[in-house]
Amino acid sequence: MAELEIKIPPVGESISEVTIGTWFKNEGDTVKMDEVICGLDSDKATFELTAEADGVLHIKAQEGDTLAIGDLIATIETAAANGAAPAPAKEETPKAQAEPVAEPAAKEAEPAAAKVIEMTVPTVGESITEVTIASWNKKDGDAVELDEIICELESDKATFELPAEAAGTLRIVAAEGETLDIGAVICRIETGSNGAAKAPESAAPAPAAAESESEGTSVHTSPVAAKILAEKGIDPKNVNGTGAGGRITKEDALNAQKAAASSEKAPAETPKAAPAKAAAPAPAAPVEGSRGQRREKMSSLRKTIARRLVAVKNETAMLTTFNEVDMKPIMDLRGKFKDKFKEKHEVGLGFMSFFTKAICVALKDFPVVNAYIDGDDIVYNDHCDVSIAVSTPRGLVVPVIRNAEKMSFAEIEKEIIRLAVRARDGKLGIDEMTGGTFTITNGGIFGSMLSTPIINAPQSAILGMHNIVERAVVVNGEIVVRPIMYVALSYDHRTIDGRDSVSFLVRVKQLLEDPTRLLLEL
């Protein structure tokens, strides 16, 4: 018997080590070439390790072990050494007559073989070097049409749809949750008449990583979700998938902890995709008052947000100045005209349009607030591209309202709604989130009374809105109750002096407390 060494392959330019997540085969099992035998976890994604030959598997590293790229993880005992010797003898036996029959059959199949088109990760933005597979809309072996959306790709800035480049049978190469460089192979499409006919054979290895089967019932899960469910001891049949075609996503597996754990019957019902886990008892359901923990990998967007916010704190001289705004004039104006405004423009009249218009006027009066540092230069913007911070399930994004200074109240409100919907649906493009000159963030919708927002680099300032609270204030020598909002302006002291920052915020306060100034441009 010959012994083939299986080592940890390079899985990414910046990845130097991986952790063994799940063995899909046991010690001594017989494996086929290209069959998925193990799941590997890195700090970026989960990868699948396939057998490099037919033979008997001998495991050299256990689940949970961390190995460097190139380390030995397993060996495969092949029959190559013994298989060569008996070959001549078989030619002299009567069975040798059967071999010429099989050989032409194989040759006949070759001309009809399907043409394979490799699909790679496309270039999705000038500064984007890698993407993460968010979800597959099609399963391995499915028939796809030209330009049909088969996959969603997620970068640190936006989500993109990947259309099929040809009609044929889909062969998935990279699993959900996997991070790929631009230009890496993500899938293949078999075109031709017998592309579909070959589906059962070429798709054979896929169920080990992409599906969990249970007594004739197939539940489609992503590899990451299958691993999470296996660790929890949860049967995929008890989990409702929210992905395309009922596919169980990573989020479904994470959220299934409470719902599905209570419906588990026994540890024996764990998915067959992870036989090494079958002997281990299923984790007990969380008990009230317990001190359990769970660990989740950061998404690409979350890692980018974290990196940029830390960079802003370290690279700018950020300060925050505060003021308060009496919102009664705006609230009275909205109360008087909101019905007619909605009837005419088919959109509600919100506070954000008032703040956006006030910001645009104040930026013209104090252009340094609308500038940014570029090397040894200060770049001044003659336009107002206002970024609006929007909270989404994936994290915080800041779509941009272009040339807000030229827009009416109704146009601003419609653009805010359009961008917010696209943000929550994960459909924002790179061009819709870059190039802003000033940012507004509204923590008041979540109940924030006061905060110090962080600058959205490379911009030099950001305005924070907060909740509106009725407070006792003095007006014309009398104590009255007014709806008051605290506002905060964080700014880069390298470009903006204290006088300009305070004066800018006072100007915004002046415009909001007397909205007629916005109409008369006073």
Catalytic residues: 493, 497
d(CA 413, CA 417): 6
471 strand-pairing partners: 482
C-alpha 122/C-alpha 155 separation (Å) is: 12
As a whole number of Å, the end-to-end CA separation of the chain is: 90
Residue 187 contacts by C-beta under 8 Å, 6 or more apart in sequence? Answer: 119, 150, 151, 170, 171, 172, 173, 174
Structure tokens at 166: 């040809």
What amino acid occupies position 180? L
Residues with Cβ within 8 Å of residue 7, at least 6 apart in sequence: 70, 71, 72, 73
Q: Kindly state the DSSP code that residue 344 receives in the 8-state scheme.
A: H
Q: Is 443 left (phi over 0), alpha (psi -120 to 50) or beta?
A: alpha
- 88 three-state secondary structure: helix
Q: How far is CA 462 from CA 403, 440, 451, 457, in A?
A: 17, 6, 12, 10
Rg (CA), the chain: 30
Return the SS3 of 431: helix
Report residue 494 as tokens: 């390298």
Dihedral in degrees, nearest 10, Cα atoms 329, 470, 438, 515: 0
Which residues sit opposite 422 in a β-bridge? Answer: none
E-assigned strands of 155-201? 159-163, 168-172, 179-181, 185-191
Half-sphere exposure of 468 (CA within 13 A, CB side): 10
Beta strands in 432-477 (DSSP E): 438-442, 461-465, 468-475
